[in-house]
Amino acid sequence: MPPRDPSPVSAAVTRAGVPHGATEQGWLPDCVYTGEKFETGLAFFADLTGRITRFSREPADLAAARRLDGQAALPGLVNTHSRSFHRVLRGRTERRGAPGDPLAGWAAALGRAAGRATGEEIFDAARMAFMEMLLAGITCVGEFHFVSPAPEGATTAEPNFVRREIIRAAHEVGIRLALLNVAPERAEPFVRDVENLRVLVEKEFLADEVWLGLGADLPAVLSVDQLKVVAMYARAQRMRWHAHVAPLPGESLPAGRTPLAQLAELGFLDKRFTAVHPIQLTDDDVKLLGTARATVCLCPITAQNFGIDTAPAEKLLAAGTGIALGTDSHAQIDLLKEARLLEYQLRVQHGQRGVIAAEPATALFHAATVTGARSLGATGGALEVGRPADFFTVNLFDPSIAGAEPGALLANIVFALERRAVRDVWIGGRQRVVAGRHPLHGPIVGRFVEAQRRIWST
């Protein structure tokens, strides 16, 4: 799939954006988050492939590094659950729906939009959502991909057409992408298509730029036999797999056991598995997830937008399950806000501060970075030697966080940062956002506005 790169890399610049002749590039922000704390007077360096090679306090290194004045650097955020096409629904379903049915109205609007979308609108919506993610400091996204019905332009001759449009969108914007392909009712042709795509993707992209995983909607869509086909393929390819696992309130569980108990019985509950915004979790489910060292991805803005309660994150963490975060419906794209709303929701439930952890900012930031990267099989998530230089900087003089000394900075960022305070974003040592602006801002927004007009005009 020849990706159409809008900004071809000049001959004088390597893949990582390092000037010709140089073997490394370095950065010196006012402070840098190295996991659990911010450190001052510390520069970090990346090699030609965009990997972090070293941290240094040597005066010569501090002088050689690019000075990021008035900024703090943090590892890029990982958005574990995105449905990019849902970006087109923003602000279009915010009215009273049927009592007790959180999906009413929204599902009808989605059906209408999907029915009108061609590959072009899907591409435009994905590019818009991915650019907004970069502007929020997100450097890696897990796209839980399923569009129904098949849009115009998608043919049986090219069943991966829409998936390739999503990949092209991520590549143009410059965000790392785990494309989690959601299995339809018939698993065999699906697995064949995904395998064809996997071969193509591995040829065209670096392994940590675009990679594939699998998704499922449980318990509704797949029969046990079909589920086995998908899970076996995921295991054979060592792919991450994510599933919506619990029914919505009011939907009943299949007789006997919960979807998670069923997965555990089949041997498919393991550390490569992520349960996405589970709603009804039994105490046994919590234990099963913890024992399997699986991940749970929560999307508090979407959940609250739909009027759905959150899963018992504090119990899941205590049981050994990782908690990751996602922007799901894109009612808003702000992963730090997802983090703070998770803690706030738990505070409402418990009447206490610091429910998710005694130091909630550290735990929530861990969820938005390290755990997300683990859930997606991404190489980032932390600023450490050997990992890619994926990071964002915040303006320390932004009114939303001004006056926070290093010891109070993370809590200021997690609980109060306004998205506009995100200044620069670097992925694999290449700058993707400069002073709060993406270089393709104009065309991306312009095309999205046109796409919205086509989708919603009567």
Provide the binding-site residues for Zn ion, judged by CB under 5 A: 328
| Complete DSSP assignment for 350-417 | HTSS-SS-SSHHHHHHHIIIIIHHHHHT-S-SS--TTSB--EEEEETTSTTTTT--HHHHHHHHHHH-
Give the nearest distance from C-beta 431 to Zn ion in angstroms. 31
User: At closest approach, how far in Å is the CB of 142 from Zn ion?
Assistant: 11
Least separation, in Å, of the C-beta of 416 and Zn ion?
Answer: 27
Determine the Cα–Cα distance for residues 323 and 352; give it in Å rounded to an integer. 20
How many angstroms separate the CA atoms of 338 and 376, rounded? 18
Q: Are 284 and 263 in contact (CB under 8 A)?
A: no
Q: Which is nearer to Zn ion, 328 or 334 (CB)?
A: 328
Nearest distance from C-beta of residue 125 to Zn ion, angstroms = 16
- CB closer to Zn ion out of 242 and 432: 242
CB of 297 to Zn ion, least distance (A): 8
Contact assessment for residue 170 and residue 178, using Cβ atoms and an 8 Å cutoff: no
**Toward Zn ion, which CB reaches closer, 339 or 427?**
339
Whole-number minimum distance, CB 429 to Zn ion, in Å?
32
Please identify, using beta-carbon distances, which residue of 172 and 328 lies nearer to Zn ion.
Answer: 328
For the bound state, the minimum distance from the C-beta of residue 276 to Zn ion, rounded and expressed in Å, comes to 5
State the minimum distance, in angstroms, from the CB of residue 82 to Zn ion. Answer: 9
Closest separation in Å from C-beta 326 to Zn ion: 7
Q: Which is nearer to Zn ion, 105 or 153 (CB)?
A: 105
Nearer to Zn ion, 143 or 328 (CB): 328
Residue 219 preceded by cis peptide, ω within 30: yes
Name the minimum Å distance from CB 81 to Zn ion.
6
CA distance 228 to 70: 53
Q: Considering beta carbons, is residue 142 or 174 the nearer one to Zn ion? A: 142
For 268-331, give the DSSP string: --STTEEEES--S--HHHHHHHHHHT-EEEE-HHHHHHHT-PPP-HHHHHHHT-EEEE--BT-S
Nearer to Zn ion, 78 or 382 (CB): 78
Measured CA to CA, the distance from residue 279 to residue 307 in angstroms comes to: 12
Report the residue number whose CB is nearest to Zn ion: 328
Give the nearer residue to Zn ion in terms of CB position, either 106 or 426.
106
For residue 237, give both structure tokens: 């390819």
Using CA atoms, how far apart are residues 317 and 299, in angstroms rounded to an integer? Answer: 16
Nearest Cα to 65, choosing from 32, 106, 88? 32
Nearer to Zn ion, 83 or 374 (CB): 83
How far is it, in rounded angstroms, from Cα 262 to Cα 450? 45
Number of CB atoms found within 10 A of residue 332's CB: 16
CB atoms within 10 A of CB 33: 22
**Starting at the edge strand that comes first in sequence, how are the strands of the sheet with 241-244 ordered?**
77-82, 138-145, 176-182, 210-217, 241-244, 273-276, 295-298, 322-325
